[in-house]
Amino acid sequence: MSEMLSGADMLVRALQDEGVEYLFGYPGGAALHIYDAIFRQQKVEHILVRHEQAATHMADGYARATGKPGVVLVTSGPGATNAITGIATAYMDSIPIVVISGQVPRAQIGTDAFQETDMVGVSRPVVKHSFLVKDCAEIPRTVRTAFHIATTGRPGPVVIDVPKDTTDPAVTAAYEYPETVALRSYKPAARGNGRQIRKAAKALLGAKRPIIYSGGGVVQSDGGLALQELARRLGAPVTNTLMGLGAFPGDDAQCLGMLGMHGTYEANMAMHHADLIFAIGARFDDRVTNNPAKFCPDAQIVHVDVDPASISKIIAAHIPIVGDAANVLKELNAVLQAEMAKHPELPDQQAHKVWWGRIDEWRAAHGLDHGSAPSTNGVILPQQVVKSLYRATGGEAYVTSDVGQHQMFAAQYYKFPMGRRWINSGGLGTMGFGLPAAMGVQFAYPKATVACVTGEGSFMMNMQELSTCLQYGLPIKVVCLNNQALGMVKQWQDMQYGGRHSHSTYSDSLPDFKTVAEAFGHVGFRIDNPADLDAAMDEAFSPKLKDKVVFVDVWVDPDEHVYPMAVKGGSMRDMYLNKITTSQQGDYM
Amino acid sequence: MSRRILAVLLENEAGALSRVIGLFAQRNYNIETLTVAPTEDATLSRVTITTEGSDKKIEQITKHLNRLIEVVKVLDLQESPCIEREMMFVKIHAEGPARAEVKRTCDIFRGQIVDVTASAYTVQLTGASDKLDAFLRAIDQSAVIEVVRSGVSGISRGDKVLSA
Ligand SMILES: Cc1ncc(C[n+]2csc(CCOP(=O)(O)OP(=O)(O)O)c2C)c(N)n1
Ligand SMILES: [Mg+2]
C-alpha cells in the first residue's frame, strides 16, 4: 500500500526522492502549503534568500559547479516574475534548474486573482519545458519528468507551476515515485553517429592547421579529460569559449585562451587561419564569430553538439555530429588511436610545426601583456587585480563573475585548471549573477574557496544577499573591480560614441562598500594603492578570514578598456589591440 | 524563398499548441496558415503550418520544432509527393445579371453554393490554395462580401504516413 499524502507533502517527498539537498526559495501565499510541508521534514534544506532572482542564480551556480540540478521555490505573481531573469540566465547557458512556483487555486486561474501571473506563459520562451499541475495525484510524476528533462540532452530550466489547491493538506492521494520516465516525444541523442565520427577523425588527421574550439558543452558533459586526450593525440591548439574555460587547462602550452570578442590575439588569429575547426559543445555565438560572412574563410568545420538545432544555425558544418560532447570525444579518441596506428605519418608533423611557429609568433606579438605591466600612474589596473587573485588562490578557487569589464578581465587572466571552476552568465549576460551564484557554489562545496569577481554596478543588483550569506555562514570572497562606472558601457561609448558617457557614471553617489560589508556583518577592505594590492588579497584569503565574507573593494583605473576587442562587422582577425593599435585585415604582424 | 507545408504531430495537451505558435513568434518565423485537430489517436493532434523560407530556414524551424518536448514528429510534406487542400467559404454579392455569372464561375471551379439569399450566394470551395486564389481572382472583387479560409491541411501520397 502506498502512502496517502497531500500535494504539498508529495512535492517535498518527490524532491527528497530526487536527492535534492537544497531548495532556494522565498515564501508567499500560494506556496504556503508547500512551506508547511518543508517545515515538517529535515531532508531537503530550504535556503531563505532575499530576492527570488537570487534564488534562481544560487540554484544555477550550484548546478554549474556540481552538474546536479538546482532547485527553486517561489510564490505566485511577483515571486514568479522575479524568478524570470534567473530562469532566462539558466536557459541561455543550458543549465539544469527546476523552478517550482506557487499559483492561485485552479478555480481562480484566469480571473486576474490576487498575485496571479500566467507563469507558464511568461516563462515559455525561456524554459526547456514547463508544467501546470492539474491534480495533486500528478505531482510525483510531474516532478520526476521535470528533473529528467532538465538534466538530459541539452540541459535547461524547467518550471512546475503548482496551483495552491493542488497542495491542499486536506486532499491526499497515493504517493509513488516513478522509477522511469517514458516520453515518446523526447529522446535526446547521447552517442554520435559512428560514420560521422570516423569522418571527423580523418579530417582531423589530414588537417595542416587544426584548432579545437571547445565550449560550455564540454564542461557540462564533464568531457575535460577526454578533450585533453584528443588535444594531446593531435598536438592541436585549443581555444575555450567564455563558457568553456577550464575544460582545457588555462595554463597549458597548447591552450590559446579564450576566443571571440575579447578573446586573445593568438586564439582569434589561429581561428581565422585554421584549415580545420573542431567545434565541440560550442554554438558559434555572435560574440565568437564576429561577422559570420567573414568567418574563418579556409576552415573546414566539424561541429559536435548535443542539440541538432545548434548545428549549422550560424555557420554551416561540413561534418555535423549530434551527441553528448564527452561521449563523442571518447569515441573519437578510440578511432584516432586506431587510425594513427595504421598511419604513423599522420598528422603531418612538418605542417604542424609550421602552424605552431605562426601561433607562437602571434603569442609573442600580442599575448595578454596588455595590462600586465605594472601601472605607472599610481592607479591599480584591473587586470592586476585578477592576477593577484590568481596568485593568492593558487589558481584553485571557484570564481564567479558578473557582467562587464571585470568579467572579461577575470576570463582572460584567471587560468582555470578544470571545468566547473569558472561560473558566469555568458549567454544572457546578467548583471547581479555573481554573488548569488557564488553562494550556490559555496553551498555545494562548503570547504572550497569561492571568489566572486564583480563590478560595483553589478554588485548593487543583488547585494541584499549579503544578508543571506550571514544567515548561512557562507564565506564568499567578493573582489570588486571598482571603476566607479558601468565600465563596459563606458568603453563602448568611448569607442563608438565619441566618448559621450551617457548614463554610465555615478562616481559621486557610490556607497562605501567597506562600510556596506560591515553593516551586513562582514569584513570589508578598500584598496586604492597598487602597493597594497597583494597583501590585501593575501589577507582576504588567509586562514584567519576563512570563515568570513570578505569584500575587497579595489579602486581601479576608471579609464581602462578591455582588449583585444573585435572590430564590429569584421572577421575574427580584426581586433583592436589597445587604445591605438588595430589588427585590421591581419596587417598588424 | 518558397512556400512550405509542415505537418506536426503534437501531444494533445493543454498548452502544447501555444509552444508551437510561440516558437514561430520568438524565432521570427512567419505563419501563413495554421490548422489543428485531433488525429485517429486521441492523444495526438496534427498541426499543419504553411510558412515561407529558404531551405536553411525550414531546416532550422524543423529542428526547433523537434526540440519542443510535446512535438512528436515533424514532416516537411513536400519532401515527397503530397496532397494539399484548403477549404473556403466566400459570400458573394449576386444580383441581377451578375447572379448567373457567379453561379457559372462557381461551377467551373467545382464549387458548391451552400447558402442563398435574395442578394447573395455563399460558395464553398475546396482545393489547393492556388485554386482558391484563382477563384477569388476570377470573380468580381467588388462583389466579395466575406472570405473564410480554413488554412492548409495535407497528407503524403502513397504508403508514407506520419505517425508516432
Ligand atoms: C541586468 C543587466 N542590465 C544591463 C546590462 C548591460 N551592461 C553590460 S556591462 C554593464 C556595466 C557593468 O558595470 P559593472 O558591474 O560596474 O562592471 P564594469 O564593466 O565596470 O567592470 C552594463 C550596464 C546587463 N548586462 N545586465
Ligand atoms: Mg564598474
Separation between Cα atoms, residue A258 and residue A412, nearest integer Å = 7
Candidates A271, A431, A461, A488; catalytic one: A488
What residue type is A382 in one-letter code?
P
| Cα Rg of chain B (Å, integer) | 18
Question: Would residue A342 show up in a list of annotated catalytic residues for this protein?
Answer: no
Residue B18 contacts A, CB cutoff 8 Å:
yes
pLDDT at A480 over 50: yes
Closest to A260 measured CA to CA, from A276, A242, A280, A247:
A242
Q: What is the DSSP string of A13-51?
A: HHHHHTT--EEEE---GGGHHHHHHHHT-SSSEEEE-SS
User: What is the reported pLDDT for A253?
Assistant: 96
ipTM: 0.93
Establish if B67 touches chain A: CB-CB under 8 angstroms.
Answer: yes
The full 3-state SS of A235-289, as one line of letters, equals: CCCEEECCCCCCCCCCCCCCEEEECCCCCCHHHHHHHHHCCEEEEECCCCCHHHH
Model pLDDT, residue A586:
47
Residue ranges around ligand 1 (CB below 6 Å): A 402-406, 429-431, 455-458, 481, 483, 485-489
Count CA atoms within 13 Å of residue A177 on its CB side. 15
Q: Closest ligand 1 atom to the C-alpha of A429?
A: 25
Least confident of A149-158, A304-313, A371-380, B95-104: A371-380
Asked if A248 and A214 count as a contact pair (C-beta separation under 8 A), the reply is yes
pLDDT (0 to 100) of residue A19: 98
A379, pLDDT greater than 60: yes
pLDDT above 70 as % of chain B:
100
Q: What is the pLDDT of residues A225-235, one digit of tens each?
A: 999 999 999 99
Length of chain B: 164
Write the residue with the smallest CA distance to atom 20 of ligand 1. Answer: A487
With an 8 Å Cβ cutoff, are A121 and B69 in contact? no
The mean pLDDT of A183-196, rounded to a whole number, is 92
Beta carbons within 10 angstroms of residue A112's beta carbon: 7
For A309, the closest of B15, B19, B64 (CB atoms) is: B64
Q: What is the pLDDT confidence band of residue A370, given thresholds at 50, 70 and 90?
A: low
Distance CA B120, CA B160 (A): 43
Rounded to a whole number, what is the distance in Å from the CA of B73 to chain A's nearest CA?
Answer: 8
Evaluate whether A528 touches A555 at the Cβ level (below 8 Å).
Answer: yes
Question: Residue A132 and residue B56: Cβ atoms within 8 Å?
Answer: no
**SS3 sequence of A185-226:** CCCCCCCCCHHHHHHHHHHHHHCCCEEEEECHHHHHCCCHHH
Cell of A408: 572579461
Put simply, whether A124 touches B (Cβ < 8 Å) is yes
- Closest to A91 measured CA to CA, from A147, A27, A159: A159
Structure confidence at residue A232 (pLDDT): 97
What would the pLDDT profile of A33-88 be if each residue is shown by its tens digit? 999 999 999 999 999 999 999 999 999 999 999 999 999 999 999 999 999 999 99
Tell me which of A497 and A367 has the higher pLDDT: A497
Active-site residue, from A41, A114, A361, A396: A114
User: Residue A428: nearest ligand to its CA?
Assistant: 1
Mean pLDDT confidence for A453-463: 98
Which of B63, B70, B71 lies closest to A308 in CB terms? B63
Looking at the complex, does the CB of residue A312 fall below 8 Å from at least one CB of chain B?
yes
- Contact partners, residue A387, CB within 8 Å, separation at least 6: A372, A413
Quote the CA–CA distance of A149 and A144 in Å, as a whole number: 9
A460 is a catalytic site residue: no
The pLDDT value given to residue A371: 60
For this structure, is A339 an active site residue? no
Q: Which of A247, A182, A167, A165 is nearest to A212 (CA)?
A: A247
Indicate if the pLDDT at residue A587 is higher than 50: no
pLDDT given for residue A374 in this prediction = 67
Instruction: Quick: pLDDT tens for A526-546.
Output: 999 999 999 999 999 999 999
pLDDT of residue A128: 98
Band the pLDDT of A135: cuts 50, 70, 90. very high
Cβ-defined contact of A185 to B69 (cutoff 8 Å): yes
Please tell me the number of the ligand nearest to residue A562's CA: 1
- Distance CA(A418)–CA(A371), nearest Å, equals 25
pLDDT, tens digit, 9 for 90 and up, residues A4-16: 999 999 999 999 9
- The set of residues, in sequence order, having a beta carbon less than 8 Å from that of A192 and lying 6+ positions away, is A304, A321, A322, A323, A324, A327, A328, A331
**A129–B164: do the CB atoms touch at under 8 Å?**
no
Helix (H, G, I), strand (E, B) or coil at B74: strand
**Sign for the pseudo-dihedral over CA of B124, B127, B130, B131:** negative
Amino acid identity of A505? T
Q: Cβ of A313 and B164 within 8 Å? A: no
Q: What is the pLDDT of residues A383-403, one digit of tens each?
A: 999 999 999 999 999 999 999
Q: SS3 for A354? A: helix
Percentage of residues in chain A having pLDDT higher than 90: 94
Is the confidence at residue A428, as pLDDT, over 60?
yes
Chain B interface includes A453 (CB < 8 A) = no
Q: Look up A164 and say whether it is catalytic.
A: yes
d(CA A102, CA A104): 7
3-state secondary structure of A399: strand
List, for residues A432-450, the tens digit of each pLDDT value: 999 999 999 999 999 999 9
The angle formed by the CA atoms of residues A90, A464 and A27, to the nearest 5 degrees, is 70
Distances (CA, A) of A166 to A103, A212, A498, B137: 10, 50, 58, 56
Interchain pair B71, A185: CB under 8 A: yes
Q: Is B49 helix (H, G, I), strand (E, B) or coil?
A: strand
pTM: 0.96
Structure confidence at residue A582 as a pLDDT band (50, 70, 90): confident
Mean pLDDT of A166-191: 94
Average pLDDT over residues A489-494: 96
Over residues B94-121, the mean pLDDT reads 96
Mutate to test the interface with B, among A134, A154, A183, A185 (most CBs of B within 10 A): A185
Q: Using a CB-CB distance cutoff of 8 angstroms, which residues of chain B are in contact with residue A130?
A: 15
Name the catalytic one among A10, A18, A24, A52. A52
Mean pLDDT in chain A? Answer: 96
For the residues A402-421, what does the mean pLDDT come to? Answer: 98
CA separation, residue B157 to residues A515, B3, B79, B80, B81 (Å):
75, 19, 11, 8, 6
What number is the average pLDDT over the span A294-320? Answer: 96
Triad A167, A169, A171: Cα angle to 5°: 80
Confidence of residue A584 (pLDDT cuts 50, 70, 90): low
Q: A370, A563 in Cβ contact below 8 A? A: yes
Q: Is the pLDDT of residue A588 over 60?
A: no
Tens-place pLDDT, residues B112-143: 999 999 999 999 999 999 999 999 999 999 99
Is A303 in the B-facing interface, judged by CB distances under 8 Å? no
Grid cell locating A477: 570572497
Residues A239/A572, Cβ–Cβ less than 8 Å: no
